[in-house]
Structures are given as structure tokens and as C-alpha cells.
Copies of this chain bind each other. A is one copy, B any other.
Amino acid sequence: MVVQGAQVVGRVAALLRLVGRKPEGTSLAGLVRESGLTRPTVHRLLASLAAEGFLEHDSSSGKWVLGPEIFLLGSVAAARFPMEDIARPSLRRLATETGESAFFSIRRGNETVCVLREEGSFPVRSFVLHEGVRFPLGVASAGTAILAFLPAEEQEALLAEWAEHAGDFSDGHPADVVRENLEQTRLAGYSVNPGLILEGSWGMGAAVFDQQGRPAWALSLTGIEPRFRPERQEYLGKLLLEEAHRMTARLQGTS
């Protein structure tokens, strides 16, 4: 998987992903911490990425943010990944129908990345999840919904080295809790995150399947605990599954 003689490419990619996590930008020190690289190296790579227009350095805040070239390349790439067109209507329906915030996440390797958000009308909202945020598979409702429907051996591979895979999240997500959660998800069809990431901040998710029948994306809803009591879960789950089925059908149909 790893290509010889391209160390920097990996480092650059990691830095771009880290910067992309926070729309408001990240400081040099933060990136040094999160990347594990030395400061001079991070600084040089950031500066050269900025010279290429892939990043920008907000001189007032000193933070680094994604630059115009990323936006431009992204617009071109979006033609091959018409997620916006396909997912947005479902998100709108979910958000207006339930009042919660609705999200569309995409699987990328052993992570999920949140791509789209649609705010609900309910006045208390959680900001744990937003565009660009990444979670390890099995963490958060979207990643649980996806992991639950991956081939058993892939699930086992991740669970076998769970602490390493889940990183900072392994504290709040012990492997046995996750196992139980995946089992529940397979039974119900949808996943429930009972505030495991942030107390009181609940979520539910349902997987969307690609043409090969693999769970590649997920729809999810987030909100506060009182809005996710058991009696309402069934209703929310039904809505999520409905929209997930609709998207899956649409994606099977295309091409």
C-alpha cells in the first residue's frame, strides 16, 4: 500500500487532512502535535503548500486553512462524486421532518468523513459533528452503521486491534461495548450512539450501499438525549432507513 520514496506525499496528505478537519483553521503548534512531525518540517510543508495555493495562512489569527486550489480541484472532483445532488434531498427531508440536524458521511478507508450537514429546527444543536470531521469506523452513529454491515472479517480485523484503531476514542468506546452496539445495529438496521463521544449528545445512523452492495456512506441524525428516547428511536430509525434505502436504490440505478 505504501509507495517507496514518497515520504513527503504521505506527510502532505496527512497535514491537509488535519487542516481540513477544522473549518476555522489550525495553528502550527496544533498541527505539530497532531501530526507527530517536528516543527520545522511542518512549517516548511505548510509554507510550501500555501505557496501553491493549497493552504492559506490567516495572518491575523495565525491559523492555517484550506486554500483556493483545494476548492478548485474539489469542484472538478465533485463531478465524479455527485453526492451533493443525491444526498441533499434526503437530508432536507430528514431535518424538516424530525427537527434534528442531519448529516451525510462517506467511508474513507477505516474512517468516516462528514461531508454534508443540514441543520434542523430544534433550537439546541450539537457541534461535535460538522463537515470535514473524521471518526474511526465504529465510532459515532454513521461509522457504526457502516462497520456493522461490512464483511465479518473486516469488522474482526478492526476489533482485534481496537485500541490502536480507535485512538483517543478507545476510552469511551471499549471494544465490548462496540461489539454489542454493532450487533444491535445489525438487528435494528440502524445504529444508535447513546452519547458515547460527548455525554448527552446522541446520534442515530443508517448505512447507504454502493453498487457492489458495500456500505460506503451513511445518513445520520444528532441531537440531545431527551429527543432520542426509546419510543422516538423507532420513528427516527424508520425515517433513516427509508431515506437510506431511497439513496441506495438511486445509486444502484445510476450507471
Cα distance, A81 to B51, chains bound together (Å):
18
Q: Which one of B9, B20, B51, B116 contacts A73 once the chains associate, using CB atoms below 8 Å?
A: B20
Check B131–A52 contact: CB distance below 8 A. no
Say whether A132 faces chain B, with CB atoms less than 8 Å apart: yes
Residue of A4, A17, A44, A74 with highest tally of chain B CB at under 10 A: A74
Give chain B residues whose Cβ lies under 8 Å from the Cβ of A163.
Answer: none
Q: Which one of B4, B16, B44, B66 contacts A44 once the chains associate, using CB atoms below 8 Å?
A: B4
Cα distance, A74 to B79, chains bound together (Å):
12
Give chain B residues whose Cβ lies under 8 Å from the Cβ of A75.
Answer: 74, 78, 115-116, 131-132
Check B16–A73 contact: CB distance below 8 A. yes
Within 8 A of B (CB), among A66-91: 66-81, 83
Give chain B residues whose Cβ lies under 8 Å from the Cβ of A77.
Answer: 20, 66-68, 70-71, 74
Cα distance, A68 to B108, chains bound together (Å):
8
Give chain B residues whose Cβ lies under 8 Å from the Cβ of A83.
Answer: 71
The 6 sampled A-B contact pairs (Cβ below 8 Å) are A9-B12, A9-B45, A13-B49, A20-B76, A68-B81, A75-B132
B-contacting residues of A (Cβ < 8 Å)? 1-6, 8-10, 12-13, 16-17, 20, 23, 44-45, 47-49, 51-54, 65-81, 83, 106, 108-109, 113, 115-116, 131-132
